[in-house]
Amino acid sequence: MGFEALIARWGYLAVAGGAFLEGETVVIAAGALANRGLLWMPFAVLAAFVGSLANDQLWFFLGRRFGRAFIAARPKLAARTARVEAFMSRWGALYVVAFRFLYGLRTVTPVLLGASGYGVKRFLLLNATGAALWALSYVLIGWGVGRGAQALFTGKSMWAQGAALVAALIGVVAIVVWRRRRTARANAARESAAVE
């Protein structure tokens, strides 16, 4: 079932569920669908906010309940704890607001904060602020992509066609850079494990 069919059947619940389970791709798609009139943008933002907030609160409480043993039992999370701790010591509350924008740290950060005894109310406030900014940002990106694609395919605006082409090129470059970095990290981890 395609995302449009999912939206037609489940609407904003699909956006919230997608933001909870997957993240950016679903929210960007929701923004593009809002541009087409299939969703109302404020409710798309609200649904993405609720899904994102619920996800991070769940991970926070898992960390709070099960502690560092929960992280240690999950090598992917454990491998990222040093980065989170470095960011936390340098940026503090600003990092708690922004962690969801940093690739690979969205899950481990709330778990680690929960395990470290970070204040529940403080995390909720900072997490809600970050979730609101995240939801609005990605829905707006989707809206812009949808707007550019609509103009590109209807031939109404040369500026929009150029903007859509530039956005597509930036997206391709970002994916290539991301994959190269991921491969380099995986190779470095394998080499490190082989040395030990």
Residues 37-87 have pLDDT tens digits of 889 999 999 999 999 999 999 999 999 998 888 778 888 777 778 888 888
What is the per-residue pLDDT across 132-167, written as a single tens digit (0 to 9) for each? 999 999 999 888 887 776 665 665 566 666 666 677
pLDDT in the model for residue 171: 73
Residue ranges covered by each domain of the chain: 3-156, 158-196
Residue 104: pLDDT band by 50, 70, 90 thresholds? confident
pTM: 0.73
The span from the CA of 158 to the CA of 109, in Å, is 43
The span from the CA of 167 to the CA of 150, in Å, is 14
